[in-house]
Structure 1
Amino acid sequence: MGDTKVKTAETSPIRDLVARRRAGRSLEGPFYTDREFFALDIAAVFARQWIFVAVDAEVPEPGDHTTVDIGPYSVIVVRDDEENLRAFHNVCRHRGSRILTEGRGASGNLVCGYHKWTYGTDGALRYAPSQPADFDRGCFGLKTVHVRSVGGLVFVCLADEPPADFAEVAARIEPYLLPHRLRGAKVAARTDLVEDGNWKLVMENNRECYHCDGHPELLRTFFPTYGYTEENVPTALRPAHERYLRADAEMRGTYERLGLPYALIEELDSRATGFRIQRDALDLAGESFTTDGRAACHRRLGDLPTPRLGHLALHLQPNSWFHVVGDHAITFSVLPLAPDRTLLRTTWLVHPDATEDEDYDLATLVKIWTATNEQDARLVARAQQGISSPVYEPGPYAPTEYQVEAFCNWYITRLREALRR
């Protein structure tokens, strides 16, 4: 399906638009508004790259499963009877019905609600009623999808041959993640927010803090100097920058004492699996994303001896970012629904033994990022409205928006590769 759409794009204006993309400026309007571009994005990006879709904590026991829609594809992620992760296309091998329509469950076998064809957690067809004597169940197992857990974060790839560098990237980021023991964590909350904008606008918005004065709750602890250098910090942000330098020096000492990797690794557009990872300081108490910076949960993730750890920030192209603090973790997954509609799925993880109302107050835990997500959704909708105007033309990125440029360059590289195939 994906290859057909890419070949169709070869004879359309898409090829010219991709070829003439100007570095350092935003993309032209059709990238965000045209259905043909949206189809190409699914085929060239979401059907070929590793996509973050879930966390191990959503499928902790054999038989637990969750589903995710990636464009026209629907994927089941399930924990099999040997406690391994499996992923399958959510398409019955009988007449193509969706097998599972609920997002999550723990039913063991996967039963199609149409004609009751029943599959094991290994994808094998176990039961197909009223078939002839010579019917071979072994020919009708579920179609598999590549799946991998990286430090408790679950990724799938729809391509026959996934990007080869993912194993290397996983090996480099897992040492940052493993001390927090996300694989054994518990889901405290999960929200789905549909934003009225193209998926790329959602990603671009997350990659810069040029707009962060629109996030008063987040800026209680998140330094507004993100993306600035020593040379271009504006006068108004100098006090925050000085606080950051002091907190950063303290955090580096803590990380070194605890043996926690913290150095910035930034390879956002120089490889197929673009990524950025870094431990960084938080403001105020420096423990968590709360109004005073103190931990929202009394139980810390992992066996780390202090809650004052700042935050571990991870960004992966094309659709995810993550924040891990001493007491909880937040994951964000961006999933395209239409040219102008995008699902943002946010999941909060806590210690497996943490109890709501005893160890944490749920409203406090989710307050900062719930407010931030809603504010970002309004900004993305405004951007979509403006880009849809006939008078829109690409504008220049500020120096602090270099990660937006890296995302767009990574994206254009993927399209060019697909159009050459």
Structure 2
Amino acid sequence: MTTQTSTVTLHPRAADVQAQLSALLERRRAGYSLEAPFYLSEEIFKADMEYVFGRHWIFVAVAPQVAEPGDFITVDVGQDSILIVRDDDMNIKAFHNVCRHRGSRLCDEHQGSLGNIVCPYHQWTYDLEGKLIHADHMGDTFLREQHSLHKVHLRNLEGLLFICLADEPPQDFEEVAARMRPYLAPHKLNECKVAAQVELIEEGNWKLTMENNRECYHCVGNHPELTISLYEHGFGAQPGPQNAEGIARFEQIVKDSHARWEAMGLPSARIEELDTRVTGFRTQRLPMDRAGESQTMNTEVACKKLLSDQFTEKSLGGLSFWTQPNSWHHFMSDHVVSFSVIPLSAGRTMVRTTWCVHKDAVEGVDYDVANLTAVWNATNDQDRRLVEFSHAGAASKAYEPGPYSPFTESLVEAFCTWYVDRMRAGVSGGR
């Protein structure tokens, strides 16, 4: 058996790191998991933050988190803290959470509400559009207009908030947005409210978190709560006599469901672009088993008030939307659940899960938070353990890249292909 171990030293020169990373990228074997250094090396983690999280559109929040003027959230991406705030004109803006005076962090809390943005150090004060409006003792020649907060690129895709830290963000996001709006708009996420949010720390590399999400090969036996609403052959199966009847039945259910939903104005067809563009994405609306209404323990809606008055039935399937490098989302008739993956170190990752319901839904009357969150709280904790098992295994001298199933792990391969392509572009100085 040939094993691969990290050769990245504790304090390598930048040129040495680049050379080692380039070699690892070039010898990546298609259809196999990545070599151990991609999961373990802090130097490669730094490259991930520069070439992936520093240059691409990152999903960070949902618009209902900043529902009213002055509402804000902060998001840390590597060394950068980002302040997202809704201004008085109801526009959502993003800024570096750094005072233009001497660099103090402006807002230290994850979320809250404010009238103006006031630096806690010397009370420099900015309005909600980032303009400096007050700075004592700076003299008559000081020009406030030259000291506005540094802006961060932000896009609101039907209630999903994406930021890009690059000076020039990938331009293909506008095309992705145009293609996705018809799918997402009927669920009216912009008009929802946050019913619950949970942050989970996984002691594993962020790529293992994403790889685990991109397949359901592991679901049977690991996710008893989630699989209640999943059709057995809905997450892949090897064709053959033993599966032929089940696959054919599932494909017919999908075909019939798509026809019904499309007639209702709900786009449902699969779009597969995870590894074919800079802003990789995938979507599809799929039926759910049993009552087929929502991802709950009994597969019935968790919220009595549906997301739109246009929804005339509860069984609208689950619209899934994946984006590279760090998110997945499930849109149902009664609620939306979104997942944002934020790397913390080579061996530590934060998964933030947010559940949204209709803004007029009343807790304890229309929905129960425990019921709403039960499936994914259980599933996230189960996935945490699996990611941690994988990270521990990658550290073993016996670890070597293993083959992906072509029937159940094709989306894992798509993620790794996208990642390797984007890292190669970063190392080579391309885009």
Is structure 2 residue 362 aligned with structure 1 residue 355? Answer: yes
Could you state the TM-score of these two structures normalised by the residue count of structure 1? 0.95
Which residue, out of 182, 199, 224, partners 1:216? 224
Could you state the TM-score of these two structures normalised by the residue count of structure 2? 0.93
Aligned to 1:252: 258
Is structure 2 residue 280 aligned with structure 1 residue 278? Answer: no
- The residue matched to 2:69 in structure 1 has which SS? coil
Distance 2:383 2:205 in 1: 13
Aligned to 1:381: 388
Alignment of 1:264-303 (within 5 A): 264-302=270-308, 303=310
Q: CA deviation at 1:306?
A: 0.6
Q: Report percent identity of matched pairs.
A: 50
| Conserved? CA contact 2:59–2:161, under 8 Å | yes
Q: CA deviation at 1:108?
A: 2.3
Distance 1:289 1:336 in 2: 27
Q: CA deviation at 1:228?
A: 1.7
| Conserved? CA contact 2:258–2:269, under 8 Å | no
How many pairs does the alignment contain? 415
Distance 1:9 1:90, change over 3 A: farther
Distance 1:293 1:250 in 2: 20
Distance 2:383 2:187 in 1: 28
Q: Which AA in structure 1 matches 2:263?
A: R
Which residue, out of 82, 106, 125, partners 2:132? 125
Q: CA deviation at 1:253?
A: 3.3
Distance 1:306 1:233, change over 3 A: farther
Is structure 2 residue 309 aligned with structure 1 residue 311? Answer: no
Q: Which AA in structure 1 matches 2:288?
A: L
Alignment of 1:5-404 (within 5 A): 8=15, 11-213=18-220, 214-228=222-236, 232=239, 235=242, 241=247, 244-245=250-251, 247-302=253-308, 303-399=310-406, 400-404=408-412
Instruction: Map Cα deviations across residues 373-392 of structure 1 (whole Å, 9 max, x no partner).
Output: 00000000000000011221
Q: CA deviation at 1:105?
A: 1.2
Distance 2:16 2:107 in 1: 32
Distance 1:366 1:129, change over 3 A: same
| Unpaired runs of at least 5, structure 1 | none
Q: Which AA in structure 1 matches 2:421?
A: T
| Conserved? CA contact 2:234–2:250, under 8 Å | no
| Conserved? CA contact 2:17–2:43, under 8 Å | no
Distance 1:104 1:8, change over 3 A: farther
Aligned to 1:412: 420
Distance 1:162 1:233, change over 3 A: farther
Q: Which AA in structure 2 matches 1:187?
A: V
Instruction: Map Cα deviations across residues 166-209 of structure 1 (whole Å, 9 max, x no partner).
Output: 10000001100000111111100011001111000000000001
Distance 1:177 1:132, change over 3 A: same
| Unpaired runs of at least 5, structure 2 | 1-11
- The residue matched to 2:277 in structure 1 has which SS? coil
Q: CA deviation at 1:242?
A: 6.3
Instruction: Map Cα deviations across residues 378-408 of structure 1 (whole Å, 9 max, x no partner).
Output: 0000000000112211011111101101100
Instruction: Map Cα deviations across residues 37-94 of structure 1 (whole Å, 9 max, x no partner).
Output: 0000000000100000111111111111111011111101111121111110011111
Q: CA deviation at 1:290?
A: 1.1
Instruction: Map Cα deviations across residues 329-363 of structure 1 (whole Å, 9 max, x no partner).
Output: 00000000000000100000100100000000110
Distance 1:80 1:394, change over 3 A: same
Distance 1:137 1:280 in 2: 53
Q: CA deviation at 1:224?
A: 3.8
- The residue matched to 1:46 in structure 2 has which SS? coil
| Conserved? CA contact 1:73–1:89, under 8 Å | yes
Distance 1:195 1:203 in 2: 12
Distance 1:185 1:266 in 2: 28
Instruction: Map Cα deviations across residues 271-327 of structure 1 (whole Å, 9 max, x no partner).
Output: 101110011010110100112211110000112111101100000000000001110
Q: CA deviation at 1:226?
A: 3.6
Q: CA deviation at 1:372?
A: 0.3
